[in-house]
Structure 1
Amino acid sequence: MNTSTHNQTLGAHGEAIAAAFLEERGFVILDRNWRNRYGELDLIAQEGRALVAVEVKTRSGDGFGSPLSAITARKASRLRRLLLDWARAHDSRAPEMRIDAVGITLCGDSTPRIDHLRGIQ
């Protein structure tokens, strides 16, 4: 498997884990992998009155540090713009909007470590 295919498979697996994790906590997943010319949102969810864009970062071990360390202020700003674009495209009038991040660390056969940061920007 080449690196690109491996990363896509790893990312899709992480997004599925993150979606299930969030749904168990009352989130409703509205969309996955939505994209426009400015980028892509991994997950779009509703939590109560809030429309939430969720950036999912998955790593296959601890070798490169926390997956969440890959989310920069610039990336968070782009995610906010994408969430506004998604809301416009879907005529969503949510009274609250925020950006969350979920870091998934896969550790062999053991249970994945999941870190959820709410409101990263």
Structure 2
Amino acid sequence: MPPSPAKTPSERRVTAERRGHRGEALAALFLQIKLYRIRDRRFKTPMGEIDLVVEKGNTVIFVEVKTRARNADEYLTHAAINRNRISRAAQYWLARHPSETGKDFRFDVIFLAPGRWPRHLINAFPAA
């Protein structure tokens, strides 16, 4: 969605968004190295956005990427993920791609922090 013309985003918000875009690109590269196939990036739905939709074998994976400026506590970050939003957005993606409905699917999370390797949490949470 284009930004609202009525409000100019703050410098802090722009910096956070750029960091998020870089994190998603790094996560996509990381998954490609692990032989995942990228299906969609930043898939927007009325319910929200899915950072990455990837595929490996007969499984479609919806990936949430969490980029932090510091090495934050992953447990707190994982607990803060809006699982209902991601689940509803995934259902929307599956409805838009009916040929994929017979495949398995799961939800993964990739944590990124400076000076650390990406941490890939496979099957991070069940569908809501």
TM-score, normalised to structure 1's length? 0.85
Choose 1 or 2 for highest CA Rg: 2
> What's 1:114 paired with?
118
Structure 2 spans left out of the alignment, 5+ residues: 1-9
1:28 aligns with 2:37: yes
Amino acid at match of 1:97: F
CA RMSD of aligned residues (A): 1.9
Q: Distance in 1 between matches of 2:120 and 2:27?
A: 9
Q: Deviations over 1:65-117 (max 9, x none)?
A: 33x6323376123212211110111222242010000000023xxxx421100
Structure 1 spans left out of the alignment, 5+ residues: none
Amino acid at match of 2:113: T
Q: Distance in 1 between matches of 2:78 and 2:23?
A: 16
Q: Distance in 1 between matches of 2:14 and 2:50?
A: 19
Identical residues among aligned pairs (%): 27
Instruction: Give the paired residue count.
Output: 115
Between Structure 1 and Structure 2, which shows a larger proportion of strand residues?
Answer: 1
